[in-house]
Amino acid sequence: MKTRVVVIGGGFAGLNFIRSIDDSRDFDVTLVDRNNYNFFPPLIYQVATGFLEPSSISHPFRKLFGNKRNVHFWLGEFQEVKPDENKVIISDKELDYDILVLATGTKTNYFGLDNVRKNAIPMKTLDDALNMRNLLLQRIEMATKTKDIKEKEDWVTMVIAGGGPTGVEVSGMFAEMRRSIIAKEYPELNDVHGKIYLVNGGDSLLAPMSEESQSYTYEALKNLGVKIKLNTRVTDFDGENVSLKDGSYIRSKNLIWATGVTAMKFPGIPEETYGPGNRLKVDACNKIENSSNIYALGDTCIMTSDKAFPEGHPQLAQVAKQQGEHLAKNLKKINKGKEPEDFVYNDKGIMAIIGRSKAVAEIPKPKMNLKGLPAWLIWSLIHLFALVNRHDRLRTFYNWTIAYFTRNQDLRMIIRPKDRI
């Protein structure tokens, strides 16, 4: 009989696990996800700002696995796992498994700030990105209607919380839009000085990168007109004012929450199995503690056995991808009576885009610290080829090319906006 594998979550980790094991006739795999598509999180901010359409960074699971007889998809919400019975409860079904793989990634962490949770705009899912695009376009239109200059500025001033890659990339994108799009297409706002603030609790941007890259990023954003506030953090947001830890506040109706993530908890998994950030503690083969057949991958887990990362791996797409592929190889070995191998992360570097022809990239092998256009080209190529389908790559390349040469894009439609403005 085939080994029944249930995978919860079709992100980088889950998808690459399935792609690496679907050629084996020894396994029958069922993917469970709340969405019927895989999407590429590093580029959701470009959907949120209207530079890419959703289909450019997403692909339906059933189309991805349509010709795989041993891979099945189930649309549903995880509810509970019953380890003693080898069962997992989905919103409308109970699935039996021989092996369970948890790969749900992370969700937004508001650090207990209830007003921020209610009023800020998150940047985690494709739904968030579409909601953000609709809200911001609506708010810019609202700014064109009011006669009060201060109110206009409140509608178009953007505050981004978080100085990591997402916060930097969103800030740079807004700055480019202010120069190339809003100035041309919204003449009613020519007398408005809407600002862009980037707020970060640390003393630098892009904390994992070198001081050289941090300094270049700071200066590049500053030259684009972004006002950077370091060593402080957002403590409250009532929809009108963003309060900061240093006692100051920023008048704005727009707080983009690009900081803080936490893994989800799984009812049925013992509390002592969780580590920092709700990440499941796993051994060197991604098996969770005190379990014989439940594994966790990517952002969902924390592994401290890798000597180069004694406090756990960074929550990056490359870690998730490599762990998914490695687990698939190990399960094939175990099925043939061979010993599994420990996971060792191959660090391929870190990078962030800042604006048009501006980026930073640090590649360990061979050691290179790149800035400006070379880093921007590498960032573009790596993200382009990381998309799961060649049609997505072609669409994205086309949109990027148009946006680069025209400094514009045509995807700023308000489609099915929510009531909130």
8-state DSSP, 412: -
pLDDT, tens only, 274-297: 999 999 999 999 999 999 999 999
Tell me: pLDDT of 418 over 60: no
Specify the higher pLDDT residue, 50 or 202.
202
Confidence (pLDDT) at 22: 82
Mean pLDDT of 98-124: 96
First to last CA, the chain: 55
Identity at 161, one-letter amino acid code: A
**Cβ neighbours, 10 Å, residue 283:** 17
Give dist(CA 353, CA 370) in Å, integer: 12
pLDDT, tens only, 43-62: 898 888 888 888 888 999 99
Percentage, residues of the chain above pLDDT 90 = 73
pLDDT, tens only, 350-361: 999 998 889 999
SS3 assignment, position 339 = coil
**30: nearest Cα among 92, 72, 91, 82:** 72
Give dist(CA 376, CA 353) in Å, integer: 6
Confidence (pLDDT) at 406: 63
Tell me: pLDDT of 380 over 90: no
HSE of 243, CA atoms in CB hemisphere, 13 A: 11
Give dist(CA 104, CA 32) in Å, integer: 10
**Does residue 161 contact residue 257 with C-beta atoms inside 8 Å?**
yes
Tell me: pLDDT of 399 over 80: no
Tell me: pLDDT of 272 over 80: yes
Q: 264 is written with which tokens?
A: 């989800």
Residue ranges per structural domain of the chain: 3-34+76-107+261-335, 114-259+357-406
Specify the higher pLDDT residue, 134 or 399.
134
**Does residue 387 contact residue 393 with C-beta atoms inside 8 Å?**
yes
CATH architecture of 114-259+357-406: 3-Layer(bba) Sandwich (3.50)
Phi-psi region of 372 (alpha: psi -120 to 50; beta: other; left: phi over 0): left
> CA-CA distances (angstroms) from residue 280 to 16, 96, 103, 336?
19, 21, 10, 27
Instruction: Identify the bridge partners of residue 82 per DSSP, sorted by sequence position.
Output: 87
SS3 assignment, position 326 = helix
Choose from 12-16, 177-181, 391-395 the range with maximum mean pLDDT: 12-16
Give dist(CA 288, CA 282) in Å, integer: 4
**Does residue 53 contact residue 16 with C-beta atoms inside 8 Å?**
no
Confidence (pLDDT) at 120: 97
Percentage, residues of the chain above pLDDT 70 = 96
pLDDT, tens only, 56-106: 889 999 999 988 889 999 999 999 999 999 999 998 889 999 999 999 999
Confidence label for 405 from pLDDT (cuts 50, 70 and 90): low
SS3 assignment, position 64 = helix
Give dist(CA 270, CA 273) in Å, integer: 6
Confidence (pLDDT) at 409: 65
Mean pLDDT of 312-323: 94
SS3 assignment, position 74 = strand
CATH architecture of 3-34+76-107+261-335: 3-Layer(bba) Sandwich (3.50)
pLDDT, tens only, 233-259: 999 999 999 999 999 999 999 999 999
Domain 3-34+76-107+261-335 shares a fold with domain 114-259+357-406: yes
Tell me: pLDDT of 387 over 90: no
Give dist(CA 271, CA 83) in Å, integer: 14
8-state DSSP, 288: B
Tell me: pLDDT of 341 over 90: yes
**Does residue 8 contact residue 89 with C-beta atoms inside 8 Å?**
no
> CA-CA distances (angstroms) from residue 16 to 9, 318, 344?
11, 11, 16
Confidence label for 413 from pLDDT (cuts 50, 70 and 90): confident
